[in-house]
Amino acid sequence: MAILIVDDDPRLRDLVRLALERAGLTTLTAADGRSALIHAAREAPEMIVLDVGLPDIDGFEVCRRIRATSDVPILFLTARDDEIDRILGLELGADDYVTKPFSPRELSARVKAILKRSGAAAPGGRPLAHGAIRLDPAARACRVGVADVALTGTEFRILELLLAQPARLLPRLRLIESIWGAGSPVSDRTLDSHLRNLRAKLTVAGAPEAIETLHGQGLRLSPALAAE
């Protein structure tokens, strides 16, 4: 298992590679979108660090194609500090983003945080359930009734936190701190993007309105689910 680094700038590619290898991670690299898709299919990386501005297929399209078949964690590298771009990336299924120029130490910390979230399904975690929704942390599997639901690492962690205390309201700040860490610069808009994707997947699987938002208070799983 390795981290796939995708960037057309060889100096930046080496910078990221060295930062992650110094953090004890194994890496492989690709210089364009087509190579990234080939590596993603053949090598099954543990995570992908993906530049948005690639010369052939842009990072958003690469992410879209990968998400059609895989929930591998993806972190975007972007030279554009534009909110619309960031939200688009998250809505396509990215787990996080880092804006250039960036600190190699910060990048390594973000990568480790994502790997920790995607591995939140550590062996030995107890199965969780609420109504038709079932979550198996040990297998990192989610089901709604008989339907399997493919979740990204962040989506899985959100649902895991809600299922752990289904009747309790979780404040948004507590969710953000539990997922991204205390003092994280992640905004409410980032959380909203992941929640929107999670709600859409649960709806398709047969659990519409599974997650309730009580404005000014927090989020919880719908009590009506427990009666189903």
> Tell me: the pLDDT tens digits for 122-169?
444 678 999 999 999 878 889 999 999 988 888 888 999 999 888 888
The verdict on 83 and 175 lying in the same domain is: no
On whether residue 9 sits in a domain, the answer given is yes
Strand extents, DSSP E, 87-190: 96-99, 128-130, 133-136, 141-144, 147-148
Contacts within 8 Å (CB) and 24+ apart, 178-185: 179/117, 179/154, 180/96, 180/113, 181/113
Q: How many domains are contained in the chain?
A: 2
pLDDT confidence tier of residue 119, bands split at 50, 70 and 90: low
CA dihedral sign, ordered 7, 34, 87, 128: negative
- Assess whether 112 and 153 both reside in one domain: no
63 and 141, same domain (yes or no): no
**Arithmetic mean of pLDDT, 23-38:** 94
Average pLDDT score over the chain: 86
Domain that holds residue 24: 3-118
Which one of 63, 89, 118 terminates a domain?
A: 118
Res 213 pLDDT > 70: yes
| Domain contains 123 | no
The CATH number for 196's domain is 1.10.10.10
- Spell out a b/e string for 81-100, using b for 16 or more CB atoms within 10 Å of the CB, else e: eeeebbbbbbebbbbbbbee
Q: What is the pLDDT of residue 79?
A: 81
Structure tokens at 95: 């787990």
DSSP 124: T
Residue 69, pLDDT above cutoff 90:
no
- Digit-coded pLDDT (tens) for 184-212: 667 777 888 889 999 999 999 999 999 99
